[in-house]
Amino acid sequence: MTGGAKRGVFSAGGVAAPLRYALFRRIWLASLLSNLGLMINGVGAAWAMTQMASSADKVALVQTALMLPIMLVAMPAGAIADMYDRRIVALASLTLGLGGSTVLAVLAHLGLVTPEILLAFCFVIGTGMALFGPAWQASVSEQVPGEALPAAVALNGISYNIARSFGPAVGGIVVATAGAVAAFAANAALYLPLLMVLFLWRRVSAPPRLPPERMNRAIVSGVRYIANSPSIRIVLTRTLVTGIAGSSVLALMPLVARDLLKSGAETYGILLGAFGVGAVIGALNVGLARERLSSEAAVRSCAIIMGLAMAAVALSRSSLISAAALVVAGAVWMLAIALFNIGVQLSAPRWVAGRSLAAFQASIAGGIAIGSWVWGHVADLAGVAPSMLISAGVMLVSPLVGLLLRMPSVGTQTEDAELLADPEVRLALTPRSGPVVIEIDYRVDQDDARAFHGVMQQVQLSRQRNGAYGWSIARDIADPELWTERYHCPTWLDYLRQRSRSTQHDRAMHQRAMAFHRGPAPIRVRRMLERPFGSVRWKDESPDRPTGTEVLPVAGVSGGST
């Protein structure tokens, strides 16, 4: 490689730029080894199942068992990643995976593994992955600066797919020479470097401005944010569709090797390795795709090319042709998944990053888990090749979803806005005081009514995804220039959180709404306690309670009133 090429790769916009940062580099290299272990484990589990059960659905259930936990526990895992130290969360989840792998290796050595036990421990290992993923991905922004984040996301995908390139081939050799026990033991051993690197990471985190949310409230907050964020909602839907359509490649690969190519574990490993090589190629070209194509055009192109490659695998009886088709399929699969991942990462503010990434993981893992189950049953009924052909057809028509749910255009990372100035408080409040009702009066020229109402629909989404409920906008029938925005927060503490969660985009939208205000008087804001029990002197002789200091308003420096 020439010096110029190196400079391009390691430049600020180059795919290898994040490797200039020592912390990210150490974690990335250790995660590469961990991913290698997971690939070896996956080959061992899938091939062990083919030896214990002849039905296609049992073999496909290995992928379901590994991926289903990600769908089931993703949102709690994301909430945990946002609420607690992400380093500690990552260490605990890796320990769970290490324990599951170790016990599975011991049971396999003793000859006690049955199909049900194998699926159960695949589920345990998958649960560790599910808990680890959001904490790991959300912490990437703490390891590299913002301009290197898209490349870091791509590099994490490359790490996984470098492991996919070599891990299955290594796994095939390990299984062929030493059996599934050695594959399970290798996975357990390769957890250790990542555990060590994370243990030595001295993560510096700013103390939270407010107490952490309870788990149930944190989950609700994450779901509410996603439900009121159209861009993230669209990306997650497209991710789910792609996962369902493309999962037959991963789920039926052992059967492609055994039934279509009439080969053994070595060929299975080579086929998965070919898919991984293609995935690395795709990840290396994420930046190029983002520069030259819109998100929608890139995702559509990936779906069409992958559908054709899947059809080629279904029709081929040559290992060479199948491997070549899988290189193409792996490239466009990884490219599409990386585009979805980057779209979520750049759209979510830090306070909900873990939950948003958990939802992304749930979408892709849920798609693979559901698709694996479906295509496994289809393969039992119609055969492996017809099942893959049907899956390819679904992938080819999946771009039609874009007619209704067009991929959003995502530029730079979402940044938090400066905190608002302190609200005026003259009433004794506790964290649980509430509900709190906020009313904001705007005076708007009648000629601007339609434009103002349109902006307020965007303000509604902003308020609701940050924690408000019961939002409404009303117009005075006796004074048509007077508009009143009204919304609730469950408690005073929730209101303080809602005020602190605005992004720069949210704040700009609020400023657009405020710019419509006319008249000599400023915008009027009323903050009211809907259930004022405890703030009232029930007897004349009772002393007034002092203004509360149990929960202080969030300290802020910028202007603004809401």
Domains of the chain: 17-201+217-404 (1.20.1250.20), 436-529 (3.30.70.100)
- Please report the pLDDT score of residue 551 as a whole number: 42
* Residue, of 310 and 562, whose pLDDT is higher: 310
Q: State pTM to two decimals.
A: 0.73
Of 42 and 309, the one with more pLDDT: 309
Percent of the chain with pLDDT over 90: 32
Cα separation, 355 vs 79, whole angstroms: 5
Amino acid code (one letter) for 509:
M
Q: With residue 458 as reference, give the H or E element that holds it.
A: helix 449-465
Mind listing the pLDDT tens digit for each residue in 231-253? 899 999 999 999 999 988 888 88
Q: Categorize the per-residue pLDDT at 264 as very low, low, confident or very high, splitting at 50, 70 and 90.
A: confident
Q: How far is CA 487 from CA 40, 442, 492, 552, in A?
A: 53, 15, 13, 21
Neighbouring CB atoms inside 10 A of 1's CB total 7
**Among candidates 304, 305, 312, 306, which has minimal Cα distance to 260?**
312
If you count DSSP H runs as helices and E runs as strands, how many of each does the chain have, helices first?
21, 4
pLDDT beyond 90 at 486: yes
- pLDDT for 119 beyond 80: yes
Q: So what's the pLDDT on residue 544?
A: 46
Is the model's pLDDT at 6 over the cut of 60?
no
d(CA 505, CA 465) in angstroms, rounded, equals 13
Reply yes or no on whether the pLDDT at 203 is more than 80. Answer: no
**Positive or negative torsion for Cα 175, 161, 241, 126:** positive
Indicate whether 553 pLDDT > 90.
no
pLDDT surpassing 90 at residue 161: no
Whether pLDDT at 547 is above 50: no
* pLDDT for 552 beyond 50: no
Residue 165 binned pLDDT confidence (cut-offs 50, 70, 90): low
Beta-carbon count within 10 A of 89 CB:
24
d(CA 83, CA 14) in angstroms, rounded, equals: 32
Give the mean pLDDT of 524-536: 77
- The residue assigned the tokens 């609700």 is 220
Least confident of 167-176, 348-357, 528-537: 528-537
Answer whether 122's CB lies under 8 Å from 62's CB: yes
Average pLDDT for 350-361: 82
Q: Which among 110, 98, 115, 101 is positioned nearest to 48, based on CA atoms?
A: 115
Cross-strand partners of 488: 437, 469
**Residue 7's pLDDT band (boundaries 50, 70, 90)?**
very low
Q: Is the pLDDT of residue 58 over 80?
A: no
- Which residue in the block uniquely carries the two structure tokens 């990386």? 338
Residue 561 vs residue 553, higher pLDDT = 561
Between 74-78, 159-163, 292-296, 354-358, the lowest mean confidence (pLDDT) is in 159-163
pLDDT exceeds 70 at position 410: no
Confidence of residue 417 (pLDDT cuts 50, 70, 90): low
Q: Residue 59: what pLDDT? A: 74
The dihedral over CA atoms of 193, 199, 203, 207, expressed in degrees to the nearest 10, equals 140
Residues in a beta bridge with 444: 517
Percent of the chain with pLDDT over 70: 86
**Beta strand 482-489 with 524-529: parallel, antiparallel or unpaired?**
unpaired
Nearest to 322 by CA among 261, 368, 380: 261
What does the angle CA 94 – CA 97 – CA 102 come to, to the nearest 5 degrees?
Answer: 125
Among 136-150, 253-267, 484-498, name the one with the lowest average pLDDT: 136-150
State the first-to-last Cα distance of the chain, in angstroms, to the nearest integer.
55
pLDDT beyond 80 at 432: yes
Is pLDDT above 70 for 542?
A: no
For residue 208, whether the previous peptide bond is cis, meaning omega lies within 30 degrees of 0, is no
pLDDT of residue 285: 84
Sheet with 524-529, side-by-side order of all strands: 469-475, 482-489, 436-443, 524-529
pLDDT of residue 558: 43
Q: What pLDDT is stored for residue 295 in this prediction?
A: 87
Between CA 411 and CA 504 the distance in angstroms is: 14
Tokens of 543: 């002393």
Q: What is the mean pLDDT of residues 194-198?
A: 92
pLDDT (0 to 100) of residue 537: 47
Is the pLDDT confidence value at 54 over 80? Answer: no
Mean pLDDT on 484-497: 92
Would you state the pLDDT for residue 454? 95
Average pLDDT, the chain: 83
Residue 157 has pLDDT above 80, yes or no: no
